Structure formats: structure tokens, C-alpha cells
Structure 1
Amino acid sequence: MSNIDFKIESGVGVITLNRPDKFNSFVRQMAFDLQKALDDCELNKEVRAIYITGVGKAFCAGQDLAEAIDPSQTELTKIVEEHYNPIIERLRNIEKPIVCGVNGVAAGAGANIALACDITVAGKSVAFIQAFSKIGLIPDSGGTFYLPRLIGMQKSAALMFLGDKVMAEEAEKMGMIYKVVEDEALQEEGMKLARKLAQMPTKGIGLTKRLLNESYNNTLTQQLALENELQNIAGKSYDYNEGVNAFLEKRAPIFKGE
């Protein structure tokens, strides 16, 4: 997977976008490779958390437009359907915590992939750009779903219509991302967060992620019922038993994500 690097470190599946000469913009094989890396993370019990970042000056510039306009390549509707929609579905449905470390500009689909992760940390110099309007397209990769829920309809509409840059500190203030750190500290801080999550009761965290996803669609009554259902599952987990015993025995718990 030459455009996607993957390794497992301290219980974290580390996925790195590695096409720096093209600002980590996606081509077809790269999209499929990212899907496979996410599938591997989901299936591998050794992976308790996932960390996604990029190499070079950009996190991801979105779609490689040279491929998009090449008549011999996949048409635009297939690119969205086969490349990006499956990536976003995986990011939201894998019941393991996913941290995104945004190392440089995140534009178009690249911005929306970052926002679809559970916790997004960005370097101070990072800019997020809903760049689609610049070339006459509409936001995809879940952008029209998640961005209004993160920052509200007015700001989302303005950013999507105008294609303005949002610097990392402003993105944090408006609730678009979790945290801003100094550029040189990004990878250390991002991996520190991912490693911490990997040692936590990730069975319960995965169930919490499911609840957060369902909260977009449920009424309060439905959400309360689902909380009751999933709390029962969490209460039968190894991690719950370990957590309670460690508390009573005044020791640090050792969770397994089971």
C-alpha cells in the first residue's frame, strides 16, 4: 500500500496518508487502500484505537483532480460512491476510537474525512477548507451532515459557499475540532491521545460511539431506551468487571477492550 502506510504501535493502528508530492490527494487505489487499512484495524483485536495522519505539508487535499477529469478513469459519481462514502461509513461505524492528527492543510474530502473522525487534533498552522465551491462542486464525504452539527447551519453555509480558509485555532473555537497544538508537537500529542484511548475500556467507548451515532436520528425516548440496552451490554463486559474490581482493590485497572 504505497500511498497508505500502516503499522500497529502500542495498541494503536497508525494509518498515514503518504502521497506528499500530491498533498496526499486521493486516487482510486489510495482510497481502496485506506478502506482496507480501516478494515484491518476493525478486525484485529490487537488494535484498540486508530490514529490517522499524513506526511508532508498537507493532511489531505481531497480528490486528485487529474484523475477526476481523466475520461479513461472512474466517473465522478463512482468516485464519491466507491471511494469516499465507504471511508466515511467505516470511520463512523468502527466501534473503536479514531483520532485524526491533521498535520497540514485539509481541503475538500480531506477536511471532511478529518471531521468524521471521533477526535480531531490539528497543528497550529493547519487550514481547513471546504474547497468544493471553487470548482463548481458540492461538499461530499459527509461534510453536509457533520459540519452543521459541529458548528451550526449559518457558519457551515458560509464556509461551504465561500470556500474560506478556517485556521486551526478558529476551528477549535467554533467547535469544529477538539484541540490545537503546536505544529512540531502534533504527532507526539496525537499519538499520546491515541495510546491513552487504546489502554482504556474500549468496549464501552465503542458502545458510546454507537450511541453518539444514533443520537442524530433518535428521539429522547428512543435514545434513553438504547442507552439502557447498551449499558446492559457494557455491564456484562470484562472491562466493567475489571474496572470495578480495580476500584475496590485500589489499583490501576488493566482493560482489554472486551
Structure 2
Amino acid sequence: MTGTSVDAVEHVSYAVADQTATVTLNRPEARNGYTVRMSDELAEAFDTADADPAVRVVVLTGEGRDFCVGADLSAGGLDLQDPADPEWNEPAGRCSLRVFAMNKPVIAAVRGAAVGAGSTIILSADFRLASTDARFGFVFSRRGLYPEGASTWFLPRLVGLGRAMDWMVSGRVFDAAEALSAGLVTSLHDPDEVLSEAYALARDLIRNTAPVSTAVIRQMLYRMSPLDSPLPVQRLDSRLIADSMTSPDAAEGIMSFLQRRDPQWTGEVPRDLPHYLPW
């Protein structure tokens, strides 16, 4: 990647190059053990990427040989402040729900251990690329804890209720091959290549997909697919498709296809998102 600028915070680093933002869990000495500070810095990094029209795709990864081994319990537990406060949000959800709300694709590039928070914060990503040595685990039942990050909502939508029940109730750790076969991860790669494969995917998305269309499609899949009727979805489809008749990106998409060339998108996110989206 070229033109990289890096903003290093305490537990997360943020870099932008080639229209791709890289958000990196940056506590390799602690195997990227998850902390409250990390959760807040992750949310801030995704805020920054979502608001920046120069960023088209976000890659989420971890520094070192592990993505994230879960909550850092070395100091006796997370600083939860006052969990009785009705406005308090548990730390994994601060990341996973911010990723859920993104208007830009998020690619998780995972190697080594991705356990506890390391598994839950990637569930709302659009793609999860993993190394062949990756290990996953929703280990909460084995710690006397409860699932976090709205993972009991996300996980069954990815792998089905039966597999989610297996992994979450047993709390067992499982390997990358099982994660791939169940649909938790998109593809497997050599540990030294998983990040470069994530960037290759980012380049493909940037070159070939319209940013506004991608943002709307991403949110429609998450927010409309759980509805109990297709009727409101089709009503939104109708308005979006009617509007696309005057959309410069729609015209460009068709012309670039007919002329067998790469498209040159002019729509920007968040500037050009339809104002009537129900969310």
C-alpha cells in the first residue's frame, strides 16, 4: 500500500492508504488482549473511517501472531465502571455495533487466536478472512460469563442456530477449517498472506463496486432481512430503483459495463446516501 499515514493511539492504530483504512489491535505484547480503552479506540477509529469520504473500505486486523485472545484479565478484570447504569454498554458491543452501523465494507483479517472478544467483534464485519492457524472460541460458558457484542444475534445469522448453539453452549475452541465449513469465515490463507489477501479484496471492492450502492445494500441485508414480511423491503426497493434512473453512478455502472472499462464512481459516502432510508 502507498501513501500510508498512521495514527497510533494507546491500544489501537489507524492508518489510511489507497482508499483503505486499516484498524489494528495494537497490544502484541498482551496478544491483543481486549480492554475498555481498546473498545473505545476501535469505535472512534470506525467513526473516523465512516466519516471520511476518502475511505472506501476498512480492514480490521491485529498486530503480531494473534488477532485477540479475549478480555485482558491480567489485572483482575475489565474496568466496567458502573454496569448498573442503563446507558452503559459492554466493551465488545461498542465495537461490534459500530461495525454493524458502518456505511462502508469491513474486512476482518484474522490470524492466530480469536477467542472471546476476538470472535465476537468480527461477527458484524462483511468479510472474515482467516489464516490456516486461526482458532476461534465463544468461551463464555467456560468462564461463568455471558456472550457479548450481540453475538447471539449475529452468530446464528452466519452459521445457523444449531452450530451457534454448539459453539456457544459448549464454549469449545475450534479451528479455522471448522470455521470455514460452517460459514463463519469467508476464506482461509497462509498466516503470512491473510492481510495481503484482505487488501486485495479491498482493492477489488474499491475498483468495482459503487460506494453508495454498497452502503445501502449492506444495511438492507442487516436491517431488512429479519423482517417478517418482504412487503416493506420491496417498497424500499421500489423507491431506490426509481431514484437510480437519475443516478450518475447507475449510468456509469451501465456504461462502464458496455464499454468494458473500470467504472469511475462519483457518489460519496456519507454525502450521497438517500435521505429516506428508514434507519
Normalised to the residue count of structure 2, the TM-score between the two structures is: 0.85
Cα distance in structure 1, aligned partners of 2:267 and 2:68 = 31
For 2:238, the aligned partner's letter is: N
**Mean Cα displacement is larger for which, 82-91 or 26-35?**
82-91
Aligned partners of 1:142 and 1:40: how far apart in 2?
23
CA contact (8 A) 1:51 1:191 kept: yes
8 Å Cα contact 1:203-1:237 kept in structure 2: no
Which residue among 14, 17, 31 is the counterpart of 2:25? Answer: 17
Matches for 1:166-181 after TM superposition, within 5 Å = 166-181=174-189
Q: In 1, Cα distance between the equivalents of 2:77 and 2:82?
A: 8
Change (3 A) 1:174 1:140: same
Q: Does 1:228 align with 2:227?
A: no
Map of 1:242 onto structure 2? 252
Could you tell me which of 237, 244, 264 is aligned with 1:254?
A: 264
Corresponding letter in the other structure for 2:29 = D
Root-mean-square deviation (Å): 2.1
* Counterpart amino acid of residue 194 in structure 1: A
% identical aligned pairs = 28
Higher fraction of helix: 1
Helix, strand or coil at the partner of 2:227: coil
Kindly provide the amino acid, as one letter, of the partner of residue 110 in structure 1. G
Change (3 A) 1:96 1:21: same
Q: Report the alpha carbon displacement of residue 227 of structure 1 after superposing the two structures with TM.
A: 2.2
Structure of higher RCO (CA pairs closer than 8 Å, 6+ residues apart):
1
Residue 114 (str. 1) matches residue 122 (str. 2):
yes
5+ residue gaps in structure 1? none
Q: CA deviation at 1:245?
A: 2.2
Taking a change above 3 Å as real, the CA distance of residues 76 and 22 of structure 1, as seen in their structure-2 partners, is farther
Shift of residue 75, structure 1, vs aligned partner: 4.8
**Of residues 221, 224, 232 in structure 2, which corresponds to 1:212?**
221
Partner of 1:158: 166
CA 1:246–1:97 in structure 2 vs 1: closer, same or farther (change >3 Å)? same
2:184 match: secondary structure: coil
TM-score of the pair, normalised by structure 1: 0.91
Aligned residue pair count = 257
Shift of 1:24: 0.9
Q: Give the unaligned 5+ runs of structure 2.
A: 1-8, 269-279
Amino acid aligned to 1:212: L
Greater shift, 50-59 or 233-242, is seen at 233-242
Aligned mates of 1:91, 1:211 — CA distance in 2 = 14
CA distance in 2, matches of 1:93, 1:235: 27
Question: Does the Cα contact within 8 Å between 2:12 and 2:23 map onto a contact in 1?
Answer: yes
Distance in 1 between the 2:67 and 2:219 partners?
Answer: 27
SS of 1:115's partner is: coil
- Report the counterpart of residue 126 of structure 1 in structure 2: 134
Residue 230 of structure 1 and its aligned partner are, at CA, apart by 3.0
Query: After the TM superposition, which of the residue ranges 85-94 and 231-240 deviates more from structure 2?
Result: 231-240
Relative to structure 1, is the Cα distance of residues 216 and 236 closer, same or farther in structure 2, using a 3 angstrom cutoff?
farther
Change in 2 beyond 3 A, CA 1:29/1:46: same
Q: Is the 8 A contact 1:203 1:234 kept in 2?
A: no
